[in-house]
Structure 1
Amino acid sequence: MKIVGNSHNNAFYLSVIDYGRGMTQEQINNVGAYVQFERKMYEQQGYGLGLLIAKRLVELHGGEFSIESIYGAQTIMRIVLPQPKF
């Protein structure tokens, strides 16, 4: 896993790169449907809420959340948040 962040043009950019199994386009489209993707019985189980919560929090703060993936290789989650105005 790799996390990269920077600020530019009044926004904060964050990329999280997971070098795991990757996701299909169908799985990306179903983020937020409370589903787990391809979990085996012996693997750690969860409720399928992590990406949904991250996406909703980013959107609540006026940001953008996107996912790109190469199935079987990696997934990149990108977040863009506007800098707060004080």
Structure 2
Amino acid sequence: MSDNLESLQQALVLWTNIAHKLWEARSALLPRNPDHSPGAPGDSPVFSKEILGLYDGLDSLYMEAEQKKRQILERIARISPPV
């Protein structure tokens, strides 16, 4: 049982790292100006369709990684003895 617990703990670390990297990548796409203003009339929009698509894709992957983490935590809770 400890091998299974150890494997789950390693998987949890892996998915935590993946989720964090996806969150960092997604956050890097956000505008840097503090008020998030679109700029002067006629300026190009803050986000292009491509950037929005990339953001949505990273967000979706991030949510999947978070779901994996929750599933692993549930499995760990089922096999770990109560403290």
TM-score (norm: length of structure 2) = 0.30
| Bigger relative CO (Cα 8 Å, ≥ 6 apart) | 2
TM-score, L = length of structure 1: 0.30
Q: Which structure has the larger Rg over C-alpha atoms?
A: 2
The structure whose residues are more often strand, as a share, is 1
Higher helix share: 2
